[in-house]
Structure 1
Amino acid sequence: MIATKQRSLLERLVGKRLPWLEWVWAAPAVVWIVVAVAEPSGFHTVMAVVWSLLAVAQIGASVRAGRRARSAGPTG
């Protein structure tokens, strides 16, 4: 039987795991948080919360995938 490997959408598009790309999600989250603090409004607050949750989800998925890859050991 052929063993299939679970890959994320990013891995399918790019071809390999790029941990730094998941951290790029944190940049818009930080910008929206700064905007929400500087000019408080409902829209800015919602965008800050949504982008922060997206960044946490992406970074968490990256960390989990890295742990899974390390625990699986070398394949080849």
Structure 2
Amino acid sequence: LKDQIVHYHLVDSMGQTHDSLPLGTGKIDWRGVLPCLNPNATSIYEINLSNQEDCQEQLQSHAYLTRLAQALD
């Protein structure tokens, strides 16, 4: 289904609750997940922001995945 998926809802977690952590700070193995994702799909990062008027944690999550993808290439 990889090529058929057009959008992802990404969230990291410690695995006990739906804690919506910035990507790379929970227990999700993004290095293992990333090759399974369609690189042409769009994504939204579900994160409990520390400040609802500042999306820095979402931007950091995007930067984290971008760096990881570059390292895997």
TM-score over 0.5 (shorter chain)? no
**How does the TM-score come out when normalised to structure 1?**
0.35
> Considering only CA atoms, is the larger Rg found in Structure 1 or Structure 2?
1
Of structures 1 and 2, the one scoring higher in RCO (CA 8 A, sep 6+) is 2
Greater percentage in strand = 2
Greater percentage in helix = 1
